[in-house]
């Protein structure tokens, strides 16, 4: 106890390489009886339980039995203000925004409401084993303050920013090009780099921004290239037609961002389903991140992300819930949907690839992979213990498993918050 060291025992899973490009047996690092040493909020060491117990006899031991210890999940694209309207019925993208999303987002001018939903959101994501989120806020600076305050109070790593819109949105949800720049700059200077928080410059998407607003945010990004920039790209075909009508000079959807300084490394492009060859090539060339949101893509009827093709061509890909266009807070459910979308596209993602996407892959997409998303010495100790027999249906399937992947896959496909046995944030058990 007095040493300040904690040794967590269980099955352990980390990654030495990306399992899309390295054979799974070499990419994954699995110990049947493993251990993770936590020291000063960081991972001090990983290895076999016997070795680490011998090396650290003074550590406080927490034995998680057969639970699988891994990095906490990293959700690379979400909308926390949509928490209370998740699972809203019957609309596709544009109607869904107008009918459900914009009326709800209007409520976030009220700082007390924003604080209530932000707290609820982080409690839900943590109970689902998600230890880092990258979220859109609303147009209101109050919504950004509420988000970062709630993250800070829970000591979680979080990225987010004010969602900027200056056209094609209702009264009360529009700013101007200048306000977008000014508000974002003030919020960025207030929150970026504080504790575990990062400010993300956030134009919602091209249809709700004028060229002037995109240019203003492009200028802000050029002044703060260490901030991520998040937006949406090519989610639905109707949306793409709308964008091309609004930007007649643009070569394609991506060009509406590129022409205004909003394409670069550190760019996080949500969805990226219906890409032209030029868009694919440019995104690869600048090493931008594509964020796959499979439960959203099926729920809103958007289409099938080309995971096999885009990973094969070396694109940087992350995984996300897209709450509340996505239909779950759970990254387990999100991995299951990614598997299903892959099957519909003719490729079965390996459990190691799914799990990598939800942890190290998303951390890499956010360019935080030297800090979070893996079990390795020096990384921040954001961990989960996953119960691989959390329901009778899962337990009876896992019982027949011949290896860790067969044991893990039923939890990926059928698991939910009940599978999250414990969560550590910055080395502290929640
Ligand atoms: Zn989104």
Per-residue pLDDT tens digits of the chain, which is 430 residues long: 456 899 999 999 999 999 999 999 999 999 999 999 999 999 999 999 999 999 999 999 999 999 999 999 999 999 999 999 999 988 888 899 999 999 999 999 999 999 999 999 999 999 999 999 999 999 999 999 999 999 999 999 999 999 999 999 999 999 999 999 999 999 999 999 999 999 999 999 999 999 999 999 999 999 999 999 999 999 999 999 999 999 999 999 999 999 999 999 999 999 999 999 999 999 999 999 999 999 999 999 999 999 999 999 999 999 999 999 999 999 999 999 999 999 999 999 999 999 999 999 999 999 999 999 999 999 999 999 999 999 999 999 999 999 999 999 999 999 999 999 999 999 999 9
276 C-alpha to center of ligand 1: Å?
A: 20
99 C-alpha to center of ligand 1: Å?
A: 16
The tokens describing 366, both together, are 């956010």
260 C-alpha to center of ligand 1: Å?
A: 20
Radius of gyration over alpha carbons of the chain, in Å? 21
8 C-alpha to center of ligand 1: Å?
A: 35
For residue 428, the Cα-to-chain-centroid distance in whole angstroms is 21
* Separation CA 400–CA 406 (nearest Å): 8
165 C-alpha to center of ligand 1: Å?
A: 14
Q: Beta strands of 167-235 (E only): which ranges?
A: 197-199, 202-203, 229-233
74 C-alpha to center of ligand 1: Å?
A: 15
pLDDT in tens, 83-120: 999 999 888 888 999 999 999 999 999 999 999 999 99
269 C-alpha to center of ligand 1: Å?
A: 9
402 C-alpha to center of ligand 1: Å?
A: 38
315 C-alpha to center of ligand 1: Å?
A: 20
404 C-alpha to center of ligand 1: Å?
A: 33
pLDDT in tens, 345-377: 999 999 999 999 999 999 999 999 999 999 999
* Separation CA 215–CA 217 (nearest Å): 5
Q: Give pTM, 2 decimals.
A: 0.98
**By the 8 A CB rule, do 124 and 420 touch?**
no
């Amino acid at each position: 106890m007095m040493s300040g060291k904690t040794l967590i025992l269980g099955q352990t899973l980390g990654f030495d390489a990306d399992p899309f490009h390295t054979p799974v047996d070499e990419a994954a690092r699995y110990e049947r009886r493993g251990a993770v040493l936590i020291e000063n909020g960081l991972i001090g060491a990983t290895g076999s339980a016997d070795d680490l117990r011998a090396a650290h006899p003074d550590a406080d031991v927490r034995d998680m039995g057969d639970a699988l210890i891994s990095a906490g999940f990293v959700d690379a694209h979400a909308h926390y203000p949509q928490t209370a309207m998740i699972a809203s019925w019957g609309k596709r993208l544009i109607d869904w925004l107008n009918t459900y999303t914009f009326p709800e987002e209007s409520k976030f001018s009220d700082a007390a409401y924003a604080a209530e939903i932000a707290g609820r959101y982080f409690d839900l994501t943590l109970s689902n084993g998600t230890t880092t989120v990258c979220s859109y806020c609303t147009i209101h600076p109050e919504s950004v303050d509420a988000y970062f305050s709630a993250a800070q109070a829970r000591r979680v790593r979080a990225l987010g920013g004010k969602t900027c819109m200056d056209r094609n949105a209702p009264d009360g949800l529009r700013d101007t090009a200048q306000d977008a720049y000014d508000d974002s700059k003030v919020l960025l200077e207030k929150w970026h780099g504080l504790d575990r928080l990062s400010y993300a410059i956030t134009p919602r998407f091209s249809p709700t921004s004028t060229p002037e607003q995109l240019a203003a945010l492009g200028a802000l990004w050029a002044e703060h290239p260490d901030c991520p920039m998040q937006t949406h790209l090519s989610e639905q075909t109707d949306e793409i037609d709308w964008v091309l009508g609004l930007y007649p000079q643009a070569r394609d959807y991506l060009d509406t961002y590129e022409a205004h300084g909003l394409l670069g490394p550190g760019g996080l492009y949500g969805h990226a389903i219906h890409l032209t060859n030029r868009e694919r090539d440019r995104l690869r060339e600048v090493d931008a991140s594509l964020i796959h949101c499979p439960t959203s893509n099926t729920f809103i009827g958007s289409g099938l992300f080309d995971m096999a093709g885009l990973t094969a061509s070396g694109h940087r890909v992350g995984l996300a819930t897209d709450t509340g266009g996505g239909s779950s807070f759970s990254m387990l459910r999100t991995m299951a949907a990614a598997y299903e979308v892959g099957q519909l596209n003719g490729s079965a993602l390996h459990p190691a690839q799914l799990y990598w996407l939800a942890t190290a892959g998303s951390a890499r997409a956010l360019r935080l992979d030297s800090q979070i998303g893996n079990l390795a010495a020096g990384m921040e100790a954001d961990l989960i213990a996953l119960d691989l027999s959390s329901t009778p249906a899962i337990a009876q399937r896992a019982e027949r498993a011949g290896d860790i992947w067969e044991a893990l896959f039923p939890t990926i496909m059928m698991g939910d918050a009940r599978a999250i046995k414990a969560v550590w944030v910055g080395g502290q058990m929640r």
